[in-house]
Amino acid sequence: MTTSETGTEATAFLVMAQNLRAALSERDELVRPYREYYDRAHDGLQLPPRKRVKIAEEFVRAACRADHFYEERVEEGLQEYRRLMNGEIESRY
């Protein structure tokens, strides 16, 4: 493996890691308000059970949406990694 190949692989890996980090941050930002609201409602036993269930349902839905978004972002990061690596392989031939 040449220095150029090593640099390309390292660059592709760092780009993928950066995309993963951004996806994690975005996932957390999407879920945070629902998680915090759920935590407050869970601690507040004075709320009627029906209201707590509704808040829990909103939290679960938000977490599922955020997970779906996260999975898409991870896949995009892997595709970018493959694109960068394939570009290096193709440029050698």
Between residues 87 and 69, the one the model is more confident about: 69
Domain boundary assignment for the chain: 3-91
Which are the contacts of 92, defined by CB distance < 8 A and separation ≥ 6? 5
Q: What share of the chain is helix, strand, coil (3-state, %, to 5)?
A: 90, 0, 10
Mean per-residue pLDDT, 62-68: 96
> pLDDT grade, residue 2 (50/70/90)?
low
Residue-wise pLDDT for 10-51, tens only, equals: 888 898 899 999 999 999 999 999 999 999 988 767 889 899
The answer to which of 6-20, 25-39, 58-72, 78-92 has the lowest mean pLDDT is: 78-92
CB 84 within 8 A of CB 15: yes
